[in-house]
Structure 1
Amino acid sequence: MKIKTKLAFASLILGVISAPALSADPIIDGKVDCIAPAGPGGGWDFTCRSIGRLLSNYTDGQITVQTLNMPGAGGGVGFAHIISKRSDDAKVLAAASTATTARLAQNQFPGMDADMVRWVGAIGTDPGIIAVNQNSDITSLADLINKLKQDPGSVTFAGASAIGGWDHLKILMTAHAAGVPNLNQIKYLSYNNGGAAVTQVVGGHIDVLVGVASSSKGFIESGDLKPLAVLGQDHLSAPLDNIPTSFELGVDVEASNWRGFYMPKDVSEEEYQWWVNTLRTASQTDAWKETMVQNGLEPFGLFGQEFDQFVSHQIDSLNFISKEIGMIQ
Structure 2
Amino acid sequence: MQRRSVIAAATALPFSAPGLVSAQGFTPQNPECIAPAAPGGGFDITCRLTTRVLQETGISPVPIRTQNMPGGIGAVAINNINAQRRSDPNVIVAFSTGSWLNMAQGRFGRFGENDVRWIGAIGADYGVICVKRDSPFNNLQDLMNGFRQNVAGIPVGSSGAVGSQDWTKVALVARAAGQDPRRMRYVPFEGGGAAMAALLGGHIQVFPGDASEIRGQYEAREIKILAVLSPNRLPGVLADVPTAKEQGVNIEWPIVRGFYGPPQMPDAAYTWWVDAIRRLQAHPNWAEQRNAQGLFEFNMVGEEFSAFAKARTAEYRQLARDVGIVPAQ
Structure-2-length-normalised TM-score: 0.90
* Structure-2 residue corresponding to 1:56: 55
Contact 1:34 1:65 in 2 (8 A): yes
The percent identity for this pair of structures is 33
Give the counterpart of 1:295 among 288, 293, 296. Answer: 293
Residue 259 (structure 1) aligned with residue 257 (structure 2):
yes
Query: Aligned equivalents of 2:297 and 2:146: distance in 1?
Result: 32
SS in 1 for 2:209: strand
**RMSD value over aligned CA atoms?**
1.7
* Structure-2 residue corresponding to 1:131: 130
* Structure-2 residue corresponding to 1:77: 76
Query: Aligned equivalents of 2:233 and 2:137: distance in 1?
Result: 21
**Gaps (5+ residues) in structure 1?**
1-16
Contact 2:59 2:276 in 1 (8 A): no
- Letter of the 1:214 counterpart: S
* Structure-1 residue corresponding to 2:153: 154
Following superposition, the deviation at residue 44 of structure 1 comes to 0.4
Query: Aligned equivalents of 2:306 and 2:102: distance in 1?
Result: 16
SS in 2 for 1:163: coil
Query: Aligned equivalents of 2:318 and 2:20: distance in 1?
Result: 45
The equivalences for 1:1-329 within 5 A come to 19-26=14-21, 27-59=26-58, 62-176=61-175, 178-329=176-327
Query: Aligned equivalents of 2:90 and 2:60: distance in 1?
Result: 15
Query: Aligned equivalents of 2:326 and 2:268: distance in 1?
Result: 38
State which drifts further: 138-147 or 270-279: 270-279
SS in 2 for 1:227: strand
Contact 1:121 1:262 in 2 (8 A): yes
| Alignment deviations for residues 76-106 of structure 1 (CA, whole Å, 9 cap, x no partner) | 1100111121111121100000111111000
Contact 1:120 1:275 in 2 (8 A): yes
Query: Aligned equivalents of 1:186 and 1:134: distance in 2?
Result: 22
Query: Aligned equivalents of 1:61 and 1:261: distance in 2?
Result: 16
| Alignment deviations for residues 118-158 of structure 1 (CA, whole Å, 9 cap, x no partner) | 11111111211011111000010011112212332132211
Following superposition, the deviation at residue 240 of structure 1 comes to 1.4
Contact 1:152 1:180 in 2 (8 A): no
Contact 1:172 1:321 in 2 (8 A): no
Following superposition, the deviation at residue 205 of structure 1 comes to 1.9
* Structure-1 residue corresponding to 2:9: none
SS in 1 for 2:215: helix
SS in 2 for 1:46: helix
Structure-1-length-normalised TM-score: 0.90
Query: Aligned equivalents of 1:18 and 1:311: distance in 2?
Result: 19
Query: Aligned equivalents of 1:292 and 1:207: distance in 2?
Result: 32
**Gaps (5+ residues) in structure 2?**
1-11
Distance 1:169 1:60, change over 3 A: closer
Q: How many residues align?
A: 312
